[in-house]
Amino acid sequence: MAQATIRDVAKKAEVSVASVSRALNGHTNVRSELKERVETAARELGYFPHAGARSLSMARAHAIGVMLPDLHGEFFSEVVRGMDREASGRGLQLLLSNMHANPDQAAEALRTMRGRVDGLIVMAPDIDTDTLLQHMPATLPAVFINCHGDAQGRAELRVDNFAAAAEMVAHLVETGRRNIVHLSGSAGNREADERERGYREAMRKAGLEPRVICGNFTETGGAEAAAAIIEDQKPTDAVFAANDMMAIGAMVAFRDAGIGVPQQIAVAGFDDVPLARLISPGLTTMRVNIADIGARALARLADMIDGRDDSEVECLRPELIVRQTTS
Amino acid sequence: MAQATIRDVAKKAEVSVASVSRALNGHTNVRSELKERVETAARELGYFPHAGARSLSMARAHAIGVMLPDLHGEFFSEVVRGMDREASGRGLQLLLSNMHANPDQAAEALRTMRGRVDGLIVMAPDIDTDTLLQHMPATLPAVFINCHGDAQGRAELRVDNFAAAAEMVAHLVETGRRNIVHLSGSAGNREADERERGYREAMRKAGLEPRVICGNFTETGGAEAAAAIIEDQKPTDAVFAANDMMAIGAMVAFRDAGIGVPQQIAVAGFDDVPLARLISPGLTTMRVNIADIGARALARLADMIDGRDDSEVECLRPELIVRQTTS
DNA sequence: CTGTTAGCGCTTTCAT
DNA sequence: ATGAAAGCGCTAACAG
């Protein structure tokens, strides 16, 4: 036998479907005797309301669509955890869609969200925002995280890579470093560019000469850069890598070459991956609070769904984590 | 203006809604001239089909409900990644629900899944399966992962924690360890219990005295346990933690205390989270292929939804990964 | 307080 | 090949 419907319950309790609906949804205008009869009938039939039908009728899905790229490890779980933190309190569920950097797949996923969710959180650093917007209803509330391109007035959330990188440089300068080399991230990557820009700006402000070595966000790249620095022989007392993995690669390479970290060369990264505090010496880095990004995105989206307009571009500021001290 | 509906498209294209439905869903019995008219109208109106209405009408949601406990980090992302791997190819989306070890919340989450998903994957090590079953439609296909209690003939997937833990202990004994302490997981957690049972059994078999410190699956817990071991001064040459994060916490604590790992104390974990091989020294552990669990659960569920019966209890056996050698 | 009825937006017979 | 109409399971006026 198929699942019991509200009509089956109504028949069994000898009332109308409207009364069943009222009774089960805790409306006050139902005699308690009737309410009890309905509850008994529902229990006996193993009845569960059909959330799909419910949301069609109420024009409210109580779900948020979440589009994420093929994220690895911590990052993925943290961002989802942050969303969940805000969602569960609001009675919202998360409909997940990983899009594997494939625009067609992403478009398809976006389309199938319509009518199942009340809003969308989209994180698609590799896909042009324009393309995405073409595949989602214009009236569907949405928040874009670190998007690529013009969000056309949609709500946005991004990480303030520029300011954060500048803050790191300022910190290094403050602790007496002068010859600070920047290991940049992959060319063309938006985050990498912003971090480099922050570095250059802060160096300029401090009256120091910038020196940039091109990297690629990998541990190996960090090691190679370290080798180049050693080879080069130019005076260097700090390396600021565009992410932690490069920083770690460089740090290990320096250590292997007998260079004291941080005594001779301080090494700083960006992200605060878990490994950053587990390695020794700890890595000074900028903590991007990933869970907060998810939480914030969801909170804003929930507000939009409740009718509050929002087309702001909000910037989350990473936090400086000092783990290398030259005492 | 609200979102365009199929009726708006029909009106604009001057055809019936039935034709619009047929045209847009690629049915063959539509004149191409008409089909084109419909597509144009849809485009001009910015029409996107309402997936919710669609699934009500077709009695098929093309979504899977996923109930997970409040998993930390890697584990969470890996299991979801595995599910996604199988789901996206089948055109299924994942509706996520984290239940925070709270049975009431879990029950509520389960109820709201009815009518939005075609099946359920439930992983709730802390909650009695009986309770869970009471809150889900009897006819809804479901796969239980590592559930706690009698699944009453429902499809099950579990990890052979008992045998795996025993294998780890045997390995430690084989490499000369004798005073092996077990850091247990959260009390009442089924996996934790099974791993402890495997430990005790293997110790008994080896004629060794078991020693268990209660943990909680967290890195901090591991660190605290290590402190207790150091404090305690009882001879200890190996620590087998019920999961990797505790093992890592303990390892770092030992290192900070100047204790050689693995020379003085070998540390072993369970799970093989990605971090386990990045940390130094590497962590000897039991590899639970987490992504595979998710993938397997989803594959079985998809089969059930397609009508294939399944009430099997499938056991996945973790694999020993040796990274610490005492040479 | 309770029942009747008209949708929510779509698919799918059943006619034509 | 196309249209009219009857649902899918529920909620929400609108009457009484």
Q: Which residue is nearest to nucleotide C11 (CA to C1')?
A: B57
Residue of A nearest to B73 (CA): A74
The answer to whether A93 contacts B81, with C-beta atoms less than 8 Å apart, is no
- B chain contacts of residue A276, beta-carbon cutoff 8 Å: none
Which of A46, A81, A114 is closest, CB to CB, to B48? A114
Which of B49, B136, B279 is closest, CB to CB, to A114? B49
Which has more pLDDT, B51 or B326?
A: B51
**Does at least one atom of strand D sit less than 7 Å from the CB of A5?**
yes
Write the CB contacts of A211 (distance below 8 Å, at least 6 apart in sequence): A179, A180, A181, A182, A234, A236
Quick one: pLDDT at residue A177?
A: 97
CA pair distance A144, A157, nearest whole angstrom: 6
Kindly tell me if the per-residue pLDDT of B327 is higher than 70. no
The torsion angles phi and psi of B67, rounded to 5 degrees, stand at -110, 115
Give B 30-49 residues with CB within 8 A of chain A.
46, 48-49
Delimit the domains of chain A by residue range.
Answer: 1-47, 50-159+293-317, 161-288+320-326
Size of interface A-B (CB pairs under 8 A): 147
Quick one: pLDDT at residue B326?
A: 66
Pairing of strands B93-99, A93-98: antiparallel
**What are the tokens at A283?**
């890595």
Q: Which residue is nearest to nucleotide D6 (CA to C1')?
A: B57
Answer for the pair A226, A250: CB distance below 8 angstroms, yes or no.
yes
Which of B56, B70, B259 to mutate to test binding with chain A, by most A CBs within 10 Å of its CB? B56
Quote the minimal CA–CA distance from A235 to chain B in Å: 30
Kindly tell me if the per-residue pLDDT of B253 is higher than 80. yes
Quick one: pLDDT at residue B75?
A: 80
Note the Cα A17 to chain centre separation in Å: 43
- Judge whether B2 is closer than 8 Å to chain A, CB to CB: yes
* Residues B255-268: tens digit of each pLDDT: 999 999 999 999 99
- In DSSP terms, A95 is beta-bridged to A65, B95
- Write out the H or E segment, with its range, that includes residue B296: helix B290-305
- B chain contacts of residue A113, beta-carbon cutoff 8 Å: 51
Regarding the domain delimited by A50-159+293-317, which CATH topology (the fold level of the hierarchy) does it fall under? Rossmann fold (3.40.50)
* Cα atoms in the 13 Å half-sphere on the side-chain side of A182: 26
* Cα atoms in the 13 Å half-sphere on the side-chain side of B54: 19
Distance A61 CA to C9 C1' (A): 14
Nucleotide nearest to B56 (CA to C1'): D8
**What are the tokens at A294?**
């998810």
Locate the DSSP E strands across B247-293: 266-268, 285-287
Note the Cα A302 to chain centre separation in Å: 16
Rounded to two decimals, what is the model's pTM?
A: 0.88
Neighbour-count burial of B274, counting CB atoms closer than 10 A to its CB (0-12 exposed, 13-18 middle, 19+ buried)? middle
Kindly tell me if the per-residue pLDDT of B194 is higher than 70. yes
* Cα atoms in the 13 Å half-sphere on the side-chain side of B125: 18
Q: Among 3.30.428.10, 3.65.10.10, 1.10.260.40, 3.30.1360.40, name the CATH number for the domain at A1-47.
A: 1.10.260.40
Task: Tell me the pLDDT of chain B averaged across its residues.
Answer: 94
Give A 239-298 residues with CB within 8 A of chain B.
274-275, 278-280
CA distances (Å), origin B6, targets B9, B29, B270, B273: 5, 18, 53, 48
Quick one: pLDDT at residue A306?
A: 94
CA pair distance B204, B279, nearest whole angstrom: 31
- A chain contacts of residue B3, beta-carbon cutoff 8 Å: 114, 137, 139-140
Long-range contacts of A202-208 (CB under 8 A, 24+ apart): A202/A165, A202/A166, A202/A167, A202/A168, A202/A169, A202/A170, A202/A173, A203/A169, A205/A166, A206/A169, A206/A170, A206/A173, A208/A173, A208/A178, A208/A179, A208/A180
The answer to whether B77 contacts A81, with C-beta atoms less than 8 Å apart, is no
CA pair distance B252, A278, nearest whole angstrom: 7
**What are the tokens at B256?**
């900070």
**Does at least one atom of strand C sit less than 7 Å from the CB of A31?**
yes
Per the omega criterion (within 30 degrees of 0), is the bond before A318 cis? Answer: no
Q: Which residue has the tokens 């973790």?
A: B318
- Write out the H or E segment, with its range, that includes residue B110: helix B103-111
Helices B17-24 and B6-13, axial angle in degrees (round to 10): 100
* Residues B123-140: tens digit of each pLDDT: 988 889 999 999 999 999
Give B 52-71 residues with CB within 8 A of chain A.
52-56, 61-63, 71
The torsion angles phi and psi of B203, rounded to 5 degrees, stand at -65, -45
Quick one: pLDDT at residue A204?
A: 98
Give A 83-122 residues with CB within 8 A of chain B.
84, 88, 93-98, 100, 105, 109, 111-116
Helices A17-24 and A32-45, axial angle in degrees (round to 10): 90
Q: Which residue has the tokens 């669990």?
A: B293
Q: Among 3.40.50.2300, 3.10.105.10, 3.90.1660.10, 3.30.300.30, name the CATH number for the domain at B161-288+320-326.
A: 3.40.50.2300
* Residues B99-110: tens digit of each pLDDT: 877 888 899 999
CA pair distance B22, A163, nearest whole angstrom: 53
CA pair distance B251, B284, nearest whole angstrom: 11
Q: Which residue has the tokens 């290094």?
A: A172
- A chain contacts of residue B152, beta-carbon cutoff 8 Å: none
Vertex B245 angle, CA B240 and B249, to 5°:
80
The torsion angles phi and psi of A64, rounded to 5 degrees, stand at -120, 130
DSSP states along B6-74: HHHHHHHHTS-HHHHHHHHTT-SSS-HHHHHHHHHHHHHHT----HHHHHHHHT---EEEEEEE---HH
Of residues B129, B4, B1, the one with CA closest to residue B67? B129
Q: What average pLDDT does range B275-304 have in this prediction?
A: 92
Q: Exposure pattern of B183-218 as b/e (b: 16+ CB <10 Å)?
A: bbbbeebbbbbbbbebbbbbbeebebeebebebbbb
Kindly tell me if the per-residue pLDDT of B73 is higher than 80. no
Of residues A225, A214, A212, A219, the one with CA closest to residue A180? A212
Answer for the pair B63, B95: CB distance below 8 angstroms, yes or no.
yes
| Residue A327, number of CB atoms within 10 A of its CB | 2
**Does at least one atom of strand C sit less than 7 Å from the CB of B50?**
yes
Same fold, B50-159+293-317 and B161-288+320-326: yes
- A chain contacts of residue B80, beta-carbon cutoff 8 Å: 76-77, 80, 96
**Does at least one atom of strand C sit less than 7 Å from the CB of A89?**
no
**What are the tokens at A208?**
């120091």
Distance B136 CA to C3 C1' (A): 30
Provide block-wise average pLDDT over 10 residues at a time, chain A (327 residues). 92 97 96 96 97 97 94 81 94 90 88 97 89 95 91 94 98 97 89 95 98 94 96 96 95 93 96 85 94 96 94 94 84
